[in-house]
A and B are shown apart, each in its own frame.
Chain A
Amino acid sequence: MASLNVSVVSADQQVWSGEATMVVARTVEGEIGILPGHEPMLAILARGEVRVTLPGGEKITANADDGFLSVQANAVQVVASRAELV
C-alpha cells in the first residue's frame, strides 16, 4: 500500500518528517483522517493535536496551533506557526 509522506513544519524549523500510513487532524470543521490516496485538500486547523500513525503501527502526536493542512499526491504538510511533538 502506498504510504503518506508527512512533514510537520513550524515557523522556525521542520519539526518532523517521514512516512506514515494515516494522519488524523482536527480542522475547524471537525476531525479528519487522511489515508493514502486522499484527494488534494487545504484545510485550516483548529487548536488541537495531529496524530500520525507510522508504518510500524506506532503513533506520534504533534501540537499545532493556528495552522493549516495541505494534502497533495500523498504528501501531507502540517504547517503551523507553533508546532511541536508531544
Chain B
Amino acid sequence: MGAQLRVYRQKIKSAQTTKKITRAMELISASRIQKAQARVAASEPYSTAITRAVSAVASYSNVAHVLTTEPERIDRAAIVIFTSDRGLAGAFNSQVLREAEELTELLKSQGKEVEYFLVGRKSVGYFNFRHRSFERSWIGGTDNPDFDTAKEIADAVLEAFLRDAGDGGVDEIHIVYNRFVSRITQVPVVTRLLPLEVVESDETPEASSTKHEVFPLYEFEPDAETVLDGLLPVYIESRIYNAMLQSSAAKHAATQKAMKSASDNADKLITDYTRLANNARQSEITQQISEIVGGADALSSAK
C-alpha cells in the first residue's frame, strides 16, 4: 500500500474516533439540558414567592434597609462571575468573561476598584493564567448546582457588602452569568445585585404580562423592619441560586451545540479524506497498470 494512502486511512480513522466521542458528549448534554431546565422550573415558585414578598414589604413600608440604600460614594465594586467547571462549550465561558471584562472597564472608568468572586474552574483558570487576584472562588458542582453553594456565595457576598469599603468591603455587587434562552441561544447577562433597586420588576412571566399587582395592606410579624431584614438575604440567595441554575442549563445547551458542530465537522473531514484516499488508491492502480504495460511493451519489443 502506498504511503499516501496509508496516511489518509489513518486520518479517516482518527476523525471517526473523534466523532464517536463528540457524538456521545452531544447526547449526554442533550439529556442533561432537560434535567437542568426542570430544575430551573422547579425553583420558580420559590423565587416568585420571595420576589412578591420583598416587593410587598418594600412597597408598604418606608423602612430604609442597608441592602437597599444607595451609598453616597462607591469606591469599590465586586463582580461575581459564573462560569463552568469544564470547557468544550463553545463561546460559553469566553462570552461571560468578556462581559465581565467590559464591566470592569466601565467600573474602572468610573473610578472604582473592582474585586472578583469566581464560580467555576474556568474563570479561576482565566484569572490565574493572567496572575490576577480574586477575593474568593468556588470550584466544582457547576454542572449540578446545589442550594448550599448558593447560600455560601450569598453569605460571602453579603459579608463583603456589609463591611466598610475601607476594610476591604465593597459598595456594590454585580453578577455576570449566562442565561438559558433556548437550546440555541444563551445570552450573557450583567445585573447589579446590590444595592437592590426596589422598583425592579422581575422577569417572571406572569408579573410582566398581567398589570401591576396591588398588594394588600400586610400585617408584619414581628415588624416590617425585621421581616425585611430576614427577607432580603434570602432574596439575594435565591437570585444567586437562580443564576447558577440558569448558567448550568446554558452550559449544557452550549456543550450540546459545540459538540454537534464538532460531530458535523468530523463527518465532513471523513468524506473529504475518503475522497482523497480513493483518489490516491486509483492513481496507485493506474500507475501499476502503466508500469506493467510499459514492462510488457519493453519485453515484446526486445524480442
Q: Number of B residues whose C-beta is below 8 Å from A?
A: 30
Question: What secondary structure prevails in chain B residues at the interface with A?
Answer: helix
- For B53, list chain A residues within 8 Å (CB): 42, 68, 70, 79
- For A79, list chain B residues within 8 Å (CB): 46, 49-50, 53
Encode contact with A along B93-106: 1 for CB under 8 Å, 0 otherwise.
00000000000000
Bound CA–CA A44/B229 (angstroms): 10
Q: Number of A residues whose C-beta is below 8 Å from B?
A: 27
Closest Cβ–Cβ distance, residue A14 to chain B (whole Å): 5
- For A66, list chain B residues within 8 Å (CB): 234
Bound CA–CA A13/B241 (angstroms): 12
- For A58, list chain B residues within 8 Å (CB): none
- For A10, list chain B residues within 8 Å (CB): 46
A81-B221 contact, Cβ under 8 Å, with A14-B42, A70-B52:
no
Is A11 positioned at the interface, with any CB of B under 8 Å from its CB?
Answer: yes
Is A9 positioned at the interface, with any CB of B under 8 Å from its CB?
Answer: yes
- For A29, list chain B residues within 8 Å (CB): 221-222
Q: Is A39 a contact partner of B46 (Cβ separation < 8 A)? A: no
Q: Chain A residues in contact with chain B, CB under 8 A? A: 7, 9-14, 27-29, 32, 39-44, 66-68, 70, 72-73, 77, 79, 81-82
Q: Chain B residues in contact with chain A, CB under 8 A? A: 39, 42-43, 45-46, 49-50, 52-53, 56-57, 147, 150-151, 215-222, 226-227, 230-231, 234, 237-238, 241
